[in-house]
Structure formats: C-alpha cells, structure tokens
Chains A and B, each alone.
Chain A
Amino acid sequence: MKRQSQPGFPYHLGIGNLQDVATKSDRVCVLNILGGESRQVTPTSHAFSGGNVVFGTSPGRAGQVLRTSSGDIPVYNNVREGIDAGHGFNVGVVYLPPSGVRDGVAELVRVNDALEKIIIITEKVAVHDAREVRAMAQSNSVDVIGGNCLGVADSWNQVRLGGALGGDHPEEALTKGSVAIFSNSGGFTTTIAQYLATEGWGTTTLISSGKDVYIHYSARDFAHAFQADDRSKAAVLYVEPGGYYERGIDFGKPAIACVVGRWKSKLTRAVGHAGAMAGSGDRAEDKERWFMEAFEVPELFTPNNQVVSAKGAVVTNIAHIPAALTAVMRLNSIAPDFSSRGSLALKPWIADDKGLALPAELALAPTEAPNPYNAQIGALSQQIGAVIARQTMKDTSGASKMDPKTQVTSVHGHSVLDMAMEPLEAIFALPLVHEIANENDRVMLDIAVAAEVNLTGDPILAATDAAREAGNAPNTIMAVAAGIVGPKRIDRALACTGVLIDLFAHSGLLEGHDEAFDSSSVQLNDKHRGLFAATPEEADDPRPQAILDGVKARGGKSAFLAYLRGMGTQLNRDGLLAALALTIAWAPLQRKRISRLTAETLPWYLRLYGVMIGASIPSQNHQPGSLYGIPRAERFSHWTMADLCFLALTGKKPTNGETLPLQLLIGLLISNGPGAISAQGAKGAVAADGPQTPSRVQINKAMMGFLTHCGFSHGGNGFEGIAFLLEQFKGSGLSDPSDPNHGLDLQAMAHRFATQYKADKRQAKDLGQDVRALPGVHHPVFKGKPVNVDPREQFIAAFLEERGEYNVFHAYYRELVKALYDVGASPYIFCVNVDAIIAALLLALFWKDYEAGTMRDHDLEQAAFNVFLYGRMIGAAAEIDDHVNRGRNMDTRTPASQCHFVV
C-alpha cells in the first residue's frame, strides 16, 4: 500500500506532525518481546501508555505471555500468527539481535499492510542491513525510527513507543510542556527533559534518533513535523559529529542545538555512537557552524557569554541547554511552562571521606535526594558499619596475605615488618579495627587488657595450674584458660556494647574520643541502665574505679566513658570494658571500615587477650590487687602492653628499652597468612560453629582452635634456634649480648663450627644419613644467588642498626653463613633467615637470667613459645573475625572427592 508522503521531500516521510509520532491510538507489535531487554522495558511502556502493545513475537514461544501491570501481552511465533489471531497494529518495535533486524523489518512490512512506523531499538546493526532496511521501508512507505535508539515518547499523550525513555518511571521525565526534543543520544533524551524542568520547561514529543550511520528518522524529518506541531513552541536538538543530517535545516521556530564531540576530531576512529566518526566537513565544529548560521548567532552560548537570537542558540554542554532556551524564549516573549523544579548544582547523595581532610570545595556534604530516593537512602544510612558479602573462606582470608616473593605477611594492609615497628598496644586491636591505634586508643587498650590479666580468685587459675602440672605446653595451658571465657562470661559486655552502638549510632558522634560531644539527646532506658550498673555482688569490686582512675591518669578520652560517668551510678567492669572497646572501634565503625559485628565482639577479644596473657603467668604470681607484686594502680595508670608481656615472660618490670626486642618479636610473629596451621585451626573452629549465624560463634573456642593448632613444630620451634645458639655460646663468658665489645672472636667461632659442620656433613653422607639442618640459616625462597638475604631479617637488622642496637647472636649468624661458604659447606652464601633473628632477639632477652641460673633450658623453651603465642593471638584474632564476618557455615571442609586414602 502506498501511503501519503509529506510534500516537498524527495523521499517518503509519513510523519507530518510531532503529534503523530506517539499517539494514544498507536497499536504496537514487539518483535522478540521475550528478549532480555524487552522483557524489562516493554511492561513499563505498555502500562504507561495505557496498554498499547497488542502482541509480541518470539519464534517457538507461541502461547506464552509477557506479564505487565496492565494485563498480559500475548506472544506468537511470528507476525502473521498475531494478525491472524485478530490483532491489528500500526507500529512495529524491533528488539531482535543485530543479525535479525533486517529480516524483522522485512517481516513487518510484508505481512502487515497497516504498518506506519517501525522503531528499531537494537544497536550495532550492520550498515549493510541498515541500507536494506531503509530501502525496504522507503519502498513500502513506512517511517523508521532508530536504530540504536530508545524510541519515542509524548508527554502530552503520556505514551512511549519502543524503548525505555524515562526508564522505570517515565512519568518523572515526561512532563507536559512546550519543548520538543530530538537527540542522537538515547540517555540524554530524558536527561535533557529533566534538565529543562529546572528552568520550568516541559516537553511535547521526545525522539531518540540513534546515531548509526543511517539515522532513519533524521533532524530534517523532525524539523518538518516540529513546525506543524502547535504544541511545540521550541525544539532542543542534541547532535554529535558525523553525517550531514543537520545541514541547512529551517526550524521555523526557536531551537537550541547542543553539539558535542569536538574532541572526536582528534581521534581517527569511531567512538561511542557508531556513526559519530569525524569525516570531512561533518565534524562538531562544522555542525556548530551550520546551526549558528541557521540561528544567525555569531558565537556559542555559554553561561558567561549568553549569545542568543530569537531563532535559537548553540551550546556544547547539555547543562547549558535550559538557560539558553530560557534566554531565546525571552526574546520571543514566551514564558516557561511552569515554575522551576530543582537545580543542576552539585548535590552529593551519598559520601564518605574516610576521615580524610578534604578541601572545602571537595568535601561537599550530602544533600537530600528527591523523592523516592531520599527514603531509600535514609534506609541505607540506618545501616551501621560495613556490610561484607559472605563467601567460602577455605584457605582464603580477607585479613592476612603473605607475599610469596618476599614472604612478608600483611594483616589488613599492614605488613608484619611495619607492625613490628609499632608499640604492641598500637597493633593488638588492629585485627579487629583494621587500623593502627592512635595514642588515645592505645590508652584504652592498655587498660582494657590490663584489667583482665590478673586472674586471682578466678577458677581459670586452678584450671591452668592443673594443665601446667599435667605437663602441657604453653599453648595448651592458654587454651584451657580461653575455654573458660565462654559466651556467658562475656554476654553482658557484648550487650553493653550493643546498647551503646544503638544509642550513639545516629547521634552524630564521629570519634570515640570526642568527650566534648553533646550526648544530652542520647537517652538510656532503665533496663539498659541496669546493664551498666554494678550488681550488689559487684559493689566491692575495686577494679571499675581503678579503670576509670587509670584512664584519667593517662589523660585518655572516651565519649562513652564520659556518658556512663554521667549516669551517676557505680559501674560494672563489663560496662567499662564495652566503653573502652567501643572508643577504639567507633571511628572505624562510623567510617564503615568494620562491621557492627566486629565492633560488638571487640570486648570478647580484649578479655581473651588479657586472660591468655594472664594464663601464661604461673598462679602464684597472681595476687589480689597485684601481679608479680606490681600493684594494680601502677599497671592501670602507666603500663603498656609490651610491659605486661615482658612481665609475663620474665616476672620483671622492664627497664628502659628492654621491651623493644619483645615488640619486634611479637610484631614479626603476628601472622603467616591463612595457610598457617594456627590460622587454619582458628578458621576451622569458626566454620564449625557456623558464621552465618554469627551470634553462635564462640570466639573463645576459635582462639582455642588457634592454640590447639600450635605445638612443638609450629610455635614451639623458636627454641631450636636458641638451643643452637646456646650450644655455640655456652661457656664463652659472654656477659652482655648487646655490648659490641663482647671480646669474642665471632669469625673464629663461626669458622670452627663451619669446619666441623662440613666434616659432619661428609660423614653423614657417607653413612647415608640426613644432614642436620641448621636453624636460622637458608630459606627455600631466598636462595640460589651468590649472596642471599631474607628481606625480613635485613629489615629488622637495619632497624636495630639505625637505633644503635647490637646483638651478638645475630652478628654470629652473619659470620656463620660466610664461614659455611668459605669452608665449602655451602654452595653459595646462605641467607640468615627470620628465625635466626627471632632466636637472637629472644636469647638476648633472657641471656642474663640464663647465665645467672634463674632460667633454665626448659624456661627458655616455654618463654620462646609464649612469645610466639602473644604475637600469633593477634593474627588469630584477625582470621577469626574475618571468618565470622565473611565465611559460610562449615566452609573449611574438604569435599570427599578431594580427600585421599593411603595404605
């Protein structure tokens, strides 16, 4: 059927008026209606337009329907079946994949005589097919819109055809007004409509033209229909480089052209829209010129240079369209359609600066989003702390990672080497809060842990005594103690933490140390008040007051302690522990660095730290109010974690500088990644409890998992290096290992040993026996070069050297590796490994006691093991907390198919 074409056009153009582009009477057939994109878009279009889709096709799926809120749309195998079933339509919408588009168009034009318009949504249609589509449509007098477009819409008729203009909520973008939009960009079609509303302009017809080489419904076609449309007082065009579609057009009414893409002339290839390739004479600059000539303006419009005529203006930024339109319309004495809606100023909806001090122009505070987004964002902001997706965590950690090249492990981004440089109290909370503690937080941690170490009167002491007497290793003794710190022993502290989090969550408190924070709006009810108050049985407990005094003495600040002090009642230990812990956790929680779960369980870890260190101190040294004779007040008000660990190991108060080697040792031992046996034990314990129900995970049992997965080979082997050094230095007359003038000829000692070692080695070889391995020498990764170094050993050695610290044992090791090579016992110079420096530091720590006879071999072995446990408990806490937050129930098990049976 030959339809009427518009007069004056050398080709067929059916649409003569923008009012006819998308009308209430249009009836639509959608090809590939059940395709992924159509399934999302068509139901909204159908419902918005009052149910205009009569049927869709999807070969082989006849009989199915596409459900929409305005009723089901029937699906047929092909167009003919739909028509035979009595459905008439005048608009075909093509959602077919690119290779099917041409055939779809052929089907539509051949099968349906009543067809007037085809809208092609598909992108990346081959030019070959576009050519033929154009030819077919022309010879059948059908208008085509697209391809690679989002269809058309009419704000007056409240109809959209084809694509997704206006998204899920077309009514938001399609506001009735007087401006017609024609855009090469689908996304910008509705973006421009939304921008226009900020100056009070609504829309008539919106056309997403697509930007393929073939723009089947072009700017010229649009201009013709625009002139005939009485509703449209002005037009906005968004155009990109490529093609001559916009040259020499008379719009007859005011128009704004936005031409974008000057940068594309720098490129030689098509970018973004397929047809937007800069050719000759159709660059962005050329198009700007065409429009400037059409509108009779000498320059581009910018906010600072508002060049307009009554005919129009040319802009190069879509944000300038509304102002340009208003200026042009003013010259035509036409007022906006309605009062301004919103503005285009920068309005952050969601922001988190992670505590960075941004300059004011960047630190824009979030503003309220429009409806309904504000309510959705409000719901999000109720969320406190980070939300972490669960996954299988077998052999996987979100906390620790060992670099296979350097063998250096890091925990939450901090390498053990860096952590070894920090005071212990700065890193004990790191596994939980993911940050190195600041001065104030260190105060909180020192006191919180110190308050748990003295176990006088606690059945734990009896249990650890029994365990010790039974000949258990230090890890087992610690495990016994941890086992007793079960859920009921921590219930109240955790409940207190939960209450404080709820109370302060949306109070505006940003830092836990902010005592100046006005908490007058934070109200504690009676039930919760009872949680923090001392019970009659606790009335005589001196520790809560000692804790408060300790904080005061150290100048510690805590918004939570300040708040609890304001209650005016005697507080209990658990409430104070909760306040101390939350002071540390608050800022990371607010910054969403950690989850609420982590913040809430922090008191449990702090109590466990204290009890586990306490358990390594024999029971006779725990007395009421004092530990090894050191009074509580002194420990609470001055002592650091390192002091406490030193005391636990040596029974002595450290003198100046004595804790440094201990700090280094503990730092180095924190973690060896999730593959370490101790980490596996901790993770297995968590997995077995089921982290998907985190309240059931027994953190103390997970600590036992770590402890039971240490032993004489893993953790206790620190003594091997010490034993080796003792062998070398026994009877040497060494009095002070830190004195460089020790008077020993280390080179000769090393040479002597190396010579003997070489002989032993040869003999062992002759006998077919294994050669004795030297602890602290050589490493499977750092080997094979003429001179080898373990970067960890090197790092610590450099640190000690810088501080002028000397260690004779370490110096001996360095001589030894050279001597081994010199005598031919090693093929190259082996590295001194990190175990050597650990042994050297440990032995130096205890040498004087050992020489004095107050410590024996057994004591040294116990002490070395305990140092390992102190360090590794930090790493274990990191794995436990990570697994509780991320893991799935029983995720560490190995499928039977991957297990092996041997005989």
Chain B
Amino acid sequence: MEITGMLHGATLLKHVDFPATEVLGPGATNDQIQDLLTRYGQVFVKPVFRGGVGKKGKAGLVGRATNLETALAEKERLYFVEHRHGNAIAKAHGVTFEAGVPAEHEVYFSITDDSRFRAPTMTITHQGGVDIEELDDTEIATVPFDALTGLKAFVVANALTDIKAPRELISPLVQHLPKLWELVHNYGMTTLELNPIRMRPGRGARLNPIACDFKGGFDRDDPRVARLGLPDQIFAADVSPFEQEVNQLRTHQGQSDVFVINDKGTILAPTFGGGANSLVTEVLGESAIISSDFGGNPPYEKMKSVASICYRHFLAQTNVLFIIGGKSNNTDIFETFRGMGDALREHFSAHGPTPLFIVVGRGGPNLVRGMGNLAETLDSLGLPYRFFGFDSAISEVVNYAKDVDAWMQAGGREEIGRTLGVAQSALGGRT
C-alpha cells in the first residue's frame, strides 16, 4: 500500500498543514494549466501510477514545461507511459501538473521504522533532490526517536546542526517537519518521504518549505489509514479480481496476503505458514498460480470460503492442487482440510469435474483425521492423490508436486479427464 506523487500527496499533507506545491490533476483544463504557468513560470508534468512505483527506472518520466504547448505535449507523452523495473510493470493512468517552485535549497526528509534502531527514524539532508545514496554519510543525518514522545523540534534542530545545514534552513524546518510525524503516526503510515522539499523565499526572505514530491507507505493492518478517507482504488495497483476478493477475508485469524504469481500457472498451492510460503513459491517458480499463507488456524468456514474463491478463479487451469505446509503447531488440520475438501466438492457440483491430482504435505494437530476426511472427499470425486506427512522434506514434496505437474502436462490431464468423463474440449488448462 503505497502512494507516490503529489496528486494525493498534497491532500495528505494538508491533514497536518504542511505546505505543498500547487498541483493539478489529469482533468486540468488548458486554462488552469496556463494559469499555473503564468503564476509559477514552469510546471512539472509527472505520470500518475496507482499504488506508486519505486524511484528506480523513472528517468525520463518527468516533463518540464514553461509554456502550454510543451505542457500538453508532455501530457500526451506521459499519460499512459509504462514504468518497468525488473518484472514489475506499472502503467500510468494520467498526469499531474505541479507548479515549479524556484528555490536555492532542496531538502530530503523521511520518516520510517528502521530495523537497525527498532524505532521510528528520521533521515534528513539539506542536499536533497537527488538519490541520497549518492551523498556522503556526513551530509545525511539518520536519527531514531522515541515513538511515545514523537518527532520533536529539538531532534530536527540537532540533526541539522550535525550535518551543518545552512542556518536559514533550520528555523523553518524545525517549525514544520515535526508535523509530519503526526501524519505518519496517526494515519497508519509506515514510511513518508518528501524529496525534494524546496525552500521557497517568502516574506522577509524567510524560507518556506514546500513539499514537491511525495512517497508514502501505509500499513494495511492499521485501521487508522481509513481516517484519511482515501479512495480504495488508490491502492488497487494492478490488483486482480481474485486478489481483491480473497483478501477481503483477511483477518488476524489466519491468512496473510494472497497474490497471483502467474495467472497462467498450473499448480494451485494453498500454503500454510510464512516459512512454507517462502520455500514453496521459491521452488515452484512460474508453475505456481498464487502465493499464499493460509496459516494461523483459520476456522472451517473461513477456510472453505477462501478455498472456494481460489477454486472458482483457478481450478479450471490447475493440474495439481498442492496443499502444503510444515508441521503446524496450532492450525487444526482436520478443520482446514475439511474446509478445502468441502469447497472442492461444492465446486465440482456447481461447475462439473476438472482433472486434478492432489498432493499434500502437512503435519499438525488432527493430521490423520484431516487426511482421512480429505481422502474420502477425493475418493468420492474420483481424483488421484498422494499425501505426505511431516517426515518428508517439504522441499522434496514440492519437487514431487512439480513432477506430477509435468506428468499432467504430458498427457496425465487427459487421462484423468477420461476417468472423470470430462470431454476433451472441456479439459482446458495447460497441457
């Protein structure tokens, strides 16, 4: 859950009265853009990415204009521009026009929870506007502070003194920056980065900090985020309908986030436990359809609902239904297996059979009862299966599931389809 850019950033900063550059959204009229140009002399045209993207690979994605013609040309260039970094591709959905703020000084400022200190930590430099990794350590102050008392003016003042910031910056920054802690701490943020904050001369030559770019991370487990009243779609960065549906069931009782790894994958792996999730997805690679962690002892009804959603979206393409986890400590195997089995039975009732091989690797309370119950369901559905206990290495079980997938692709799927009476044309999936 991230937000980048000033379109929403400026609104958020208003919550704590932190000055921000004037910004127009994608719907700005030519007159409005011209007005901005007239008043500020130049505007920056930036693409809007839902959910935000990292700074890497963003070179060339900012346009600068001093006249309307250039501004509109940049708008056309950047409106649907794609940002690529590694495997991640984000497509812009519009542009913003941000007033150029003339300034001599640019400040970098961020608050984040730093694992080195296990405390909220401020990072500040008066040499902002660039990647701070490029700066010398002596030019940057990284200062943890007390979460209970918050970011105090003296912390900012001390830090600026330590890095020998020009003295005209100190007073305005000491006055304004502590407000940002209020935004971070009271609205469920995990990270806030303003870079640059341009120091614009105001009345009596006093400098005023103006936030000119915004990056924020939000904690999806914190209900305080709702206080900001942000529209849901801001965080809907390329969220598939499946992800949206399944993650609605996310509570503290089981199930961390579920993501689609490869929507053309052939192994559907409900995974239990964060560790298992890491290992399984790593070994399965592109064969995995989703990455999931359904551990945390989900009750029967919830397990069944989650499984139903997974089946509805992906079972038709699935070769191997792979139920995998380590030896659970408190997740009840009987309840979770019963939930997944009953959901499978209902799915078959509603949508007809689909060729599947079921591989299970699991341990935990009520293990054999759970396996027995699932076996009964699979028997009644006519599906082949192989259940491994906790005494087989989990990575070996993952490799076994991959081997079964390969067999399914090499004709096994048709073979099972025949025993289920599934017509060739309805076999679907990737074979």
Which residues does A use to contact B, with CB under 8 Å?
11, 36-37, 40-41, 97-99, 122-132, 134-136, 139, 150, 163-168, 173, 183-188, 190-191, 194-195, 211, 213-216, 218, 238, 240, 242-245, 260-274, 276, 280, 282, 316-319, 342-359, 361-362, 364, 369-370, 373, 376-377, 380, 383, 386-388, 398, 401, 410, 412-415, 418, 434-435, 591-593
A-B contact pairs, 30 of them (CB 8 A): A11-B118, A36-B253, A37-B253, A37-B297, A99-B223, A127-B222, A128-B224, A132-B148, A186-B274, A187-B275, A215-B115, A240-B274, A262-B282, A263-B285, A272-B274, A273-B293, A318-B279, A346-B400, A347-B392, A349-B371, A350-B386, A352-B384, A353-B386, A354-B384, A358-B412, A361-B403, A362-B404, A364-B386, A376-B368, A383-B372
What string of 1s and 0s marks CB contacts (under 8 Å) between B306-332 and chain A?
000000000000000000011111101
Instruction: Give the distance in Å from the alpha carbon of A22 to the alpha carbon of B380 in the complex.
Output: 48
CB–CB A271/B257 < 8 A: yes
Neighbour of B252 across the interface among A97, A280, A352, A364, CB < 8 A: A97
CB–CB A187/B259 < 8 A: no
Asked, given contacts A185-B273, A187-B328, whether A348 binds B419 with beta carbons under 8 Å apart, the answer is: no
Most A CB contacts (10 A, CB to CB) among B118, B133, B281, B415 go to B118
Asked, given contacts A214-B118, A318-B279, A413-B353, whether A191 binds B327 with beta carbons under 8 Å apart, the answer is: yes
Residues of A within 8 A of B394 (CB): 191, 318-319
Residues of A within 8 A of B412 (CB): 356, 358
Residues of B within 8 A of A353 (CB): 384, 386
Neighbour of A413 across the interface among B222, B328, B422, CB < 8 A: B422
CB–CB A187/B392 < 8 A: no
Instruction: Give the distance in Å from the alpha carbon of A342 to the alpha carbon of B391 in the complex.
Output: 8
CB–CB B278/A261 < 8 A: yes
Asked, given contacts A127-B190, A354-B419, A370-B391, whether A271 binds B291 with beta carbons under 8 Å apart, the answer is: yes
CB–CB A267/B118 < 8 A: no
Most B CB contacts (10 A, CB to CB) among A185, A364, A383 go to A185
Neighbour of B388 across the interface among A122, A124, A319, A349, CB < 8 A: A349
CB–CB A347/B379 < 8 A: no
Residues of A within 8 A of B379 (CB): 352, 386-387, 591-593
Neighbour of B330 across the interface among A37, A188, A354, CB < 8 A: A37
Residues of B within 8 A of A123 (CB): 252, 256, 296
CB–CB B327/A214 < 8 A: no
CB–CB B393/A214 < 8 A: no
B86 at the A interface (CB under 8 A): yes
CB–CB B278/A270 < 8 A: no
Neighbour of B118 across the interface among A37, A128, A134, A415, CB < 8 A: A134
Instruction: Give the distance in Å from the alpha carbon of A280 to the alpha carbon of B116 in the complex.
Output: 14
CB–CB A272/B388 < 8 A: no
Residues of B within 8 A of A213 (CB): 113, 115, 190
What string of 1s and 0s marks CB contacts (under 8 Å) between B404-415 and chain A?
100100001001
Closest to B410 in A: A359
B88 at the A interface (CB under 8 A): yes
Closest to B257 in A: A271
Neighbour of B407 across the interface among A194, A362, A388, CB < 8 A: A362
Most B CB contacts (10 A, CB to CB) among A240, A267, A398 go to A267
CB–CB A136/B221 < 8 A: no
What string of 1s and 0s marks CB contacts (under 8 Å) between B91-129 and chain A?
000000000000000000000011110111000000000
Neighbour of A139 across the interface among B120, B148, B326, CB < 8 A: B148
Residues of B within 8 A of A356 (CB): 384, 412, 415-416, 419
CB–CB B147/A135 < 8 A: yes
CB–CB A351/B387 < 8 A: yes
Instruction: Give the distance in Å from the alpha carbon of A827 to the alpha carbon of B185 in the complex.
Output: 71
CB–CB B278/A354 < 8 A: no
Instruction: Give the distance in Å from the alpha carbon of A260 to the alpha carbon of B363 in the complex.
Output: 21
B172 at the A interface (CB under 8 A): no
With contacts defined as CB atoms under 8 Å apart, how many contacts are there between chain A and chain B in the complex? 320
Closest to A242 in B: B115
CB–CB A134/B224 < 8 A: no
Complex A-B, nearest 9 residue pairs according to Cβ-Cβ distance, in ascending order:
A185-B275, A592-B379, A413-B421, A187-B273, A243-B115, A164-B329, A126-B222, A188-B275, A344-B393
Residues of A within 8 A of B403 (CB): 361-362
Instruction: Give the distance in Å from the alpha carbon of A418 to the alpha carbon of B325 in the complex.
Output: 41
Residues of B within 8 A of A346 (CB): 388, 392-393, 396-397, 400
Residues of A within 8 A of B365 (CB): 167-168
CB–CB A418/B421 < 8 A: yes
Minimal beta-carbon separation of B416 from chain A (angstroms): 7
CB–CB B329/A186 < 8 A: yes
Minimal beta-carbon separation of B299 from chain A (angstroms): 8
CB–CB B275/A260 < 8 A: yes
Instruction: Give the distance in Å from the alpha carbon of A344 to the alpha carbon of B368 in the complex.
Output: 19
Residues of B within 8 A of A380 (CB): 368, 371-372, 375
Asked, given contacts A41-B330, A135-B146, A264-B278, whether A98 binds B221 with beta carbons under 8 Å apart, the answer is: yes
B residues 285-302 with Cβ under 8 Å of A? 285, 291, 293, 295-297, 299
B376 at the A interface (CB under 8 A): yes
CB–CB B386/A351 < 8 A: yes
Neighbour of A132 across the interface among B118, B147, B375, CB < 8 A: B147
B395 at the A interface (CB under 8 A): yes
Minimal beta-carbon separation of A463 from chain B (angstroms): 39
Minimal beta-carbon separation of A557 from chain B (angstroms): 22
Instruction: Give the distance in Å from the alpha carbon of A888 to the alpha carbon of B415 in the complex.
Output: 35
Residues of A within 8 A of B224 (CB): 126, 128
Residues of B within 8 A of A318 (CB): 275, 279, 393-395
Most A CB contacts (10 A, CB to CB) among B274, B283, B375, B384 go to B274
Asked, given contacts A11-B118, A213-B113, A413-B422, whether A187 binds B221 with beta carbons under 8 Å apart, the answer is: no
Q: What class of interface size applies to chain B in its complex with A?
A: 35 or more
Task: Describe B's contact surface by its main secondary structure.
Answer: mixed
Asked, given contacts A126-B221, A267-B259, A354-B383, whether A163 binds B329 with beta carbons under 8 Å apart, the answer is: yes
CB–CB B419/A272 < 8 A: no
CB–CB A216/B387 < 8 A: no
Asked, given contacts A123-B296, A263-B281, A319-B393, whether A187 binds B272 with beta carbons under 8 Å apart, the answer is: yes
What string of 1s and 0s marks CB contacts (under 8 Å) between B244-260 and chain A?
00000001110011010
Instruction: Give the distance in Å from the alpha carbon of A11 to the alpha carbon of B422 in the complex.
Output: 65
B81 at the A interface (CB under 8 A): no
CB–CB A184/B275 < 8 A: yes
B367 at the A interface (CB under 8 A): yes
CB–CB B278/A260 < 8 A: yes
Instruction: Give the distance in Å from the alpha carbon of A353 to the alpha carbon of B382 in the complex.
Output: 9
Closest to A373 in B: B368
Instruction: Give the distance in Å from the alpha carbon of A188 to the alpha carbon of B293 in the complex.
Output: 13
Closest to B254 in A: A123
Instruction: Give the distance in Å from the alpha carbon of A134 to the alpha carbon of B113 in the complex.
Output: 11
B277 at the A interface (CB under 8 A): yes
Residues of B within 8 A of A593 (CB): 379-380, 382
Instruction: Give the distance in Å from the alpha carbon of A712 to the alpha carbon of B123 in the complex.
Output: 88
B343 at the A interface (CB under 8 A): no
Closest to B376 in A: A387
Minimal beta-carbon separation of B191 from chain A (angstroms): 10
Instruction: Give the distance in Å from the alpha carbon of A271 to the alpha carbon of B133 in the complex.
Output: 26
CB–CB B397/A355 < 8 A: no
B80 at the A interface (CB under 8 A): no
CB–CB A216/B388 < 8 A: no
CB–CB B221/A273 < 8 A: no
Residues of A within 8 A of B291 (CB): 267, 271-272
- Known A276-B278, A352-B375; 19 more pairs at CB < 8 Å: A40-B297, A40-B332, A127-B221, A128-B188, A134-B147, A167-B328, A187-B273, A191-B326, A266-B88, A269-B257, A316-B282, A319-B396, A348-B388, A355-B419, A356-B415, A369-B389, A373-B367, A387-B380, A592-B375
B390 at the A interface (CB under 8 A): yes
CB–CB B327/A185 < 8 A: no
CB–CB A126/B277 < 8 A: no
Instruction: Give the distance in Å from the alpha carbon of A86 to the alpha carbon of B114 in the complex.
Output: 41
B residues 32-89 with Cβ under 8 Å of A? 53-54, 86-88
Residues of A within 8 A of B375 (CB): 350, 352, 380, 592
